[in-house]
Amino acid sequence: MAFVILDPCRGEKSGECVSVCPVDCIEEGPDQFYIDPDVCIDCGACKAVCPVDAIEEEYDLTAEQEVFLEKAEEFFANR
């Protein structure tokens, strides 16, 4: 399981999540931060510090939010 950064991060990009991640799986993209789903250890540290509540567990995503997981997978696949 992994965490996913959702729409509230777009434009905000405050970055607290990056500094608390113990496995360095969060990177800044052009429009928001992304969590690498293959590296995330599901610790929840990022979710706890996000000031805009933009981080959810992968399995708690709604159908409309699934696009953010796809965007993260694409972001890390194209690196």
Q: Residues 20-74: pLDDT tens digits?
A: 999 999 999 999 999 999 999 999 999 999 999 999 999 999 999 999 999 999 9
Average pLDDT over residues 8-30: 94
pLDDT at 67: 96
Say how many Å lie between the first and final Cα of the chain, rounded.
Answer: 21
**CA-based nearest residue to 2, from 42, 43, 46:** 42
Give pTM, 2 decimals.
Answer: 0.93
pLDDT at 74: 95
Selected from 3.30.70.20, 3.90.1150.10, 3.30.460.80, 3.40.190.10, the CATH number assigned to the domain covering 3-77 reads: 3.30.70.20
Neighbours of 44 (CB within 10 A): 12
pLDDT at 58: 94
